[in-house]
Amino acid sequence: MGQNLTHPNKSAAIIIVAFNDAPNLERCLPSLKKDLNSKEYTVHLTVVDNSTKRDSKQQIKKIVDSVTRAIYIDPKNNTGFAGGNNIALKHEFSSGTDYCILLNSDTEIYKGQLTDLIKAQAGSAAALVGPSIVYGDDPQTYWYGGGRWQSFLGIVRHNLRNQPVRKQLTTTVTFVNGAAMLIPKSTFIKYGGFFEPYFMYYEDSDYSVQLVRAGEHLLYEPKVVIKHYVPPISEKSTFSIFYLTRNHWLFWVRTSSGLARLTACLSICMFQLVRFISYILKTDKRSAILKAWSEALNHKYGKTFTTT
């Protein structure tokens, strides 16, 4: 762990979990300059390095060390999105930080500042706040324009996905995407962090739904716009397909009840059958789905599928 930083009132940490992706950090970090030099808040960067390659770790540490106000954390193994963020959240909130802003390494700030999320939260007491997210290669098109949980289908949806950017107002939502999410200390103290058996994917969906079910409200702040460099659906890795498939069932187990438990089960079965058929000729991806089904059926969660 790097230098120790003191946190006066109104302090914030920008948390990034990295994984063998130094080029993403090199693109992302320059966009954080305004936030890290904020005159309204004391802001610093915390990077949890889940990298499994020695050269990647060395590159990422060098990049983080070049940032004036930054902390580098090496958990010594790949703890996943959920575990990596939980490590940083525990460290920050136990050190006196007031707000943590989670940010994917494959993003960059496009409009506004991340600290605008703090202003939105302070005026609403929201449990989570999320910004607008556009495609990195097409910033005039939404990837996430707010989000909603559809309990009877067992899914969360991105509002305005693939639609042209338009003027929006700050509004209450039922799903905040983890690619860019503000968590105030009060939320973490009361509810804790992400459910780590997910390892990767659906942890933000689960967290949002658990908060909504507890009576909390979540906020979407379109004043802040983030670019997200996501690969096309056709280029999803076997790693992604496995965890998305398996974890959808864990999400169903943890968030559905009553009649919605039945309708969501039918919906997920149909969705995943279509996914399986679409990959029927791709041996690696077909095998990943079959493995995901087997592990979900046997309640095997956590890090069970690896990649270099």
For 208, counting Cβ atoms within 10 Å of its Cβ (0-12 exposed, 13-18 middle, 19+ buried), the class is buried
pLDDT digit string, tens, across residues 121-138: 998 999 999 999 999 999
> Angle, to 10 degrees, between the axis of helix 203-213 and the axis of helix 238-255?
20
pLDDT digit string, tens, across residues 48-86: 999 999 999 999 999 999 998 999 999 999 999 999 999
pLDDT at 2: 40
Q: Give the residue, 297 or 305, on which the prediction is more confident.
A: 297
pLDDT at 3: 43
CB 156 within 8 A of CB 252: no
Which domains are assigned to the chain? Answer: 11-228 (3.90.550.60), 233-297 (no CATH)
- The pTM of this model reads 0.94
Residue 255 has pLDDT above 50, yes or no: yes
CB 82 within 8 A of CB 194: yes
Q: Which two tokens stand for residue 256?
A: 């559905």
For 232, counting Cβ atoms within 10 Å of its Cβ (0-12 exposed, 13-18 middle, 19+ buried), the class is exposed
Residue 232 has pLDDT above 80, yes or no: no
pLDDT at 234: 59
CA atoms lying within 13 Å on the CB side of residue 238: 15
Q: What distance lies between CA 150 and its chain's CA centroid?
A: 19
pLDDT digit string, tens, across residues 141-160: 999 999 999 999 999 999 99
pLDDT band for position 307 (cuts 50, 70, 90): low
Average pLDDT, the chain: 94
With vertex at residue 103, the alpha carbon angle to CA 98 and CA 109, rounded to the nearest 5 degrees, is 105
pLDDT digit string, tens, across residues 258-299: 999 999 999 999 999 999 999 999 999 999 999 999 999 999
pLDDT at 186: 96
CA dihedral 78, 79, 81, 83 (to 10 degrees): -170
Residue 308 has pLDDT above 70, yes or no: no
pLDDT at 7: 40
Quick one: average pLDDT of 183-205? 97
pLDDT band for position 9 (cuts 50, 70, 90): low
